């Protein structure tokens, strides 16, 4: 039966075209009867970035829209069930192997780097999505008529729904939550991605993904796919030093000398790699309070680092952003007028308020638990690891920490959404009835306002 297309499309604005914002465009662009605009402040898709962990949760979400072979084509994983190998900081002896259970090989955690991952996501953006580069959004204005985008150009676009994905330094988060200041965490991540051929002469270099750790400092070495190799070194730096470093900027010979001296007594293979790295980039890690609720004014949804601003969080920051986007997609999908209708005769309509409620309920409890774990791990480091009498005791205590985190890396956001959806299934029933009898979605329900 033909569908009447006279219903106005749901107009969605996405602020930020990074990993989370681009994947939100991929997902939301597949909803029927939508018009989507992405505002990205860069003049073009940027060729910057470093190591990205493709967690189990990332594979679960991205492969909903991206073929797993294509995703695996840009990635690297070690031997079966050896996603990360933890080694003794000095001897290089394997002291812990992180395993993944009950997952087929193509969906097991892997490594890649930001540029090919971002490009692959952008290749899957649907044609009904417009990406406006060089669009620096300073603020947004919320009203009953919609959300107005205040960008640097004169024209002010208005949307029914705005998805905020403008990163850890989000102007929009600062606009609505001005007390949530971003602060330096006390550590700097030094990173580099370079051709794998540059380390081919190091004959005993591990062929897996390895991490060396000691007293809060860590080094990661791994292939990253597409013939690339990556190194990440995270060490404590005084604020005065970090203040001289710029995010994603080279450190020159100073950076190489700093790392060579710091890791001089560590496994010699680490300094062999540092010696040949073409350029070492600095990333002073920062964080701020996470949003307890990801929705504002029943019209604005925060995702990715804009919602949970912590750089270097368990190597899963990108994964959390992808899961945010999936939860929003599913919430809009199942609260729309036609999703449960077998023979639709009118164009699809949406219940933004109900969708954002389900989205928020799906994500906020998990994210609050992750933020709590950050505080717990800081307490463990301060009160237990730092008081170890010797290297052996520190290693024994560290393994308790290192063996955790699978619940974050493998969190199934689809099942979490289904749990929330089923909890509020009465609302979905009433919502469908409202669309069918009144022509619009359910507007009021007996749930405390957030």
Its sign, for the CA torsion 16, 17, 23, 26, is positive
Provide the percentage of residues in the chain whose pLDDT is more than 90: 73
Q: Where in the chain is the domain with CATH 3.50.50.60?
A: 10-46+124-182+289-438
Integer CA distances (angstroms), 249 to 157, 204, 246, in order: 34, 30, 5
Integer CA distances (angstroms), 48 to 59, 190, 249, in order: 22, 14, 10
Find the helix or strand (DSSP H, E) in which 429 lies.
helix 425-438
Higher pLDDT pick, 69 / 82: 69
The span from the CA of 377 to the CA of 96, in Å, is: 18
The pLDDT-based confidence of 190 (bands split at 50, 70, 90) is very high
The span from the CA of 55 to the CA of 408, in Å, is: 9
pLDDT at 180: 87
pLDDT at 435: 92
pLDDT at 50: 78
The span from the CA of 188 to the CA of 316, in Å, is: 17
94 CB-contact burial (10 Å; exposed 0-12 / middle 13-18 / buried 19+): middle
- Please report the beta strands in 169-311, taking only residues with DSSP state E, as ranges in sequence order: 183-195, 210-214, 217-225, 228-236, 249-250, 281-287, 295-296, 300-302
Burial letters 184-205, b for 16+ CB under 10 A, else e: ebebbbbbbbbebeebeeeeee
Residue 47 has pLDDT above 70, yes or no: no
The pLDDT-based confidence of 450 (bands split at 50, 70, 90) is very low
The pLDDT-based confidence of 56 (bands split at 50, 70, 90) is very high
DSSP tally for the chain: helices H, then strands E: 14, 19
The pLDDT-based confidence of 312 (bands split at 50, 70, 90) is confident
The pLDDT-based confidence of 231 (bands split at 50, 70, 90) is very high
Decide: 318 and 16 in contact? Cβ < 8 Å: no
What is the tens place of the pLDDT at every residue in 83-92? 678 999 999 9
Decide: 302 and 281 in contact? Cβ < 8 Å: no
What is the tens place of the pLDDT at every residue in 132-151? 999 999 999 999 889 999 98
Higher pLDDT pick, 11 / 311: 11
pLDDT at 154: 56
Q: Which of these, 355, 370, 185, 175, lies nearest to 292 by C-alpha position?
A: 370
Domain 10-46+124-182+289-438 carries which CATH code? 3.50.50.60
Find the helix or strand (DSSP H, E) in which 366 lies.
helix 352-383
Q: Where in the chain is the domain with CATH 3.30.9.30?
A: 184-287
The pLDDT-based confidence of 44 (bands split at 50, 70, 90) is confident
The β-bridge partners of 132 are 39
Provide the percentage of residues in the chain whose pLDDT is more than 70: 94
- Mean pLDDT within 434-444: 90
pLDDT at 172: 97
The span from the CA of 42 to the CA of 18, in Å, is: 10
- Please report the beta strands in 280-363, taking only residues with DSSP state E, as ranges in sequence order: 281-287, 295-296, 300-302
159 CB-contact burial (10 Å; exposed 0-12 / middle 13-18 / buried 19+): buried
pLDDT at 3: 46
338 DSSP assignment: S
Decide: 48 and 114 in contact? Cβ < 8 Å: yes
Higher pLDDT pick, 395 / 329: 329
Residue 426 has pLDDT above 60, yes or no: yes
Residue 49 has pLDDT above 70, yes or no: no
CA atoms within 13 A on the CB side of 111: 27
In CATH terms, is domain 184-287 a member of 3.40.1190.20?
no
Angle at 314 between CA 391 and CA 220, to 5 degrees: 60
Tokens for 10, please give them: 């749901």
Read off the pTM.
0.94
Residue 315 has pLDDT above 90, yes or no: no
Write down the mean pLDDT value for the chain. 91
The pLDDT-based confidence of 447 (bands split at 50, 70, 90) is low
Residue 2 has pLDDT above 50, yes or no: no
- Mean pLDDT within 219-232: 94
pLDDT at 1: 35
- Mean pLDDT within 259-282: 96
Residue 123 has pLDDT above 90, yes or no: yes
Q: Which of 5-9, 132-136, 207-211, 290-294 tops mean pLDDT?
A: 290-294
Q: Which of these, 286, 272, 288, lies nearest to 177 by C-alpha position?
A: 288
């Amino acid at each position: 039966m033909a569908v009447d297309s006279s219903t106005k499309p749901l107009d969605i604005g996405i602020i930020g075209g990074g990993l989370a914002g681009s994947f939100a465009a991929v997902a939301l662009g597949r909803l029927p009867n939508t018009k989507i605009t992405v505002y990205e402040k860069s003049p073009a898709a940027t060729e910057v970035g470093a190591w990205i962990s493709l967690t189990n949760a990332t594979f679960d979400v991205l492969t909903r829209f991206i073929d797993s072979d294509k995703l695996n084509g840009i990635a690297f994983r070690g031997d079966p069930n050896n996603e990360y190998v933890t080694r003794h900081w000095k001897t290089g002896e394997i002291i812990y192997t992180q395993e993944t259970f009950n997952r087929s090989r193509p969906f097991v955690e892997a490594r890649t780097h930001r540029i090919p991952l971002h490009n692959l996501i952008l290749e899957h953006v649907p044609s009904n999505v417009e990406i406006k580069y060089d669009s620096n959004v300073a603020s947004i204005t919320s009203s009953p008529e919609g959300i107005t985008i205040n960008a640097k150009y004169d024209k002010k676009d208005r949307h029914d729904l705005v998805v905020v994905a403008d990163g850890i330094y989000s102007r929009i988060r600062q606009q609505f939550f001005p007390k949530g200041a971003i602060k330096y965490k006390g550590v700097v991540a030094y990173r580099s991605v370079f051709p794998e051929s540059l380390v081919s002469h190091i004959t005993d270099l591990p062929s897996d993904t390895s991490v060396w750790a000691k007293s809060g400092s860590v080094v990661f070495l791994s292939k990253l796919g597409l013939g690339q190799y990556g190194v990440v070194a995270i060490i404590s730096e005084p604020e005065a030093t970090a203040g001289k470093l710029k995010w994603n900027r080279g450190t020159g010979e100073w950076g190489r000398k700093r790392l060579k001296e710091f890791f001089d007594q560590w496994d010699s293979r680490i300094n062999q790699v540092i010696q040949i790295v073409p350029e070492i980039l600095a990333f002073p890690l920062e964080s701020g309070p996470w949003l307890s609720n990801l929705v504002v004014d029943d019209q604005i949804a925060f995702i990715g680092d804009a919602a949970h601003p912590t750089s270097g969080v368990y190597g899963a920051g990108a994964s959390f952003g992808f899961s945010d986007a999936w939860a929003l997609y599913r919430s809009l999908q199942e609260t729309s007028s036609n999703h449960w209708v077998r023979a639709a005769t009118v164009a699809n309509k949406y219940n933004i308020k109900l969708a954002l409620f389900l989205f928020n309920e799906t994500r906020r409890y998990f994210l609050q638990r992750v933020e709590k774990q950050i505080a717990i791990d800081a307490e463990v480091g301060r009160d237990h690891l730092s008081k170890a009498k010797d290297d052996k005791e520190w290693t024994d205590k560290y393994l308790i920490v290192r063996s955790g985190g699978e619940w974050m890396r493998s969190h199934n956001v689809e099942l979490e959404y289904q749990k929330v959806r089923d909890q509020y299934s009465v609302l979905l029933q009433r919502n469908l009835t409202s669309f069918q009898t009144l022509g619009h979605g359910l507007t009021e329900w007996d749930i405390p306002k957030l």
